[in-house]
Amino acid sequence: MVEWTDSEREYINTIFSTLDYDDIGPKALARCLIVYPWTQRYFGGFGNLYNADAIMANPMIAAHGTKILHGMDRALKNMDDIKNTYATLSELHSEKLHVDPDNFRLLADCLTVVIAGKMTVKEFTPDMQAAWRKFLSVVVSALGRQYH
């Protein structure tokens, strides 16, 4: 089981409380598709992904970005059992969506950069970043767990 310190829990809750899901979610997913273009392979049915502008303006990508971020709420609400919270979702990504789990790390990194861009240097401190990365590592690991 993952051990969380009080300050780690506080940092993670602070970040989620500042998030505008409809803004950050779309931006994080769009950024992932632009910075790591091979991730577009999973979005063949999502319309125009021709260039960065098209991706950023794509409403289907935006909606999906928001959905992904809301999906992370479940990890926030079940921080002491993220592994089992995501068991079904992990199976979905493995068996139905066939997503290479290495891609979860790429999206997580883009989400971190988007959040950092919204906060100032003084707000998104190194300690906050470390706690956030730990949280995302647990989420990423849980999502990859049902792959075989």
* Contacting residues toward other proteins, per CB under 8 A: 30-31, 34-35, 52, 55-56, 109-110, 112-114, 116-121, 124, 126-127, 129-130, 133
Which residue number, 25 or 94, has a Cβ lying nearer to other proteins? 25
CB of 130 to other proteins, least distance (A): 4
Which residue number, 97 or 130, has a Cβ lying nearer to other proteins? 130
The DSSP code sequence of the chain is: -----HHHHHHHHHHHHH--HHHHHHHHHHHHHHHSGGGGGGGTTSS--SSHHHHHH-HHHHHHHHHHHHHTHHHHHTGGGHHHHTHHHHHIIIIIS---THHHHHHHHHHHHHHHHHS-TTTS-HHHHHHHHHHHHHHHHHHHTT--
CB of 19 to other proteins, least distance (A): 15
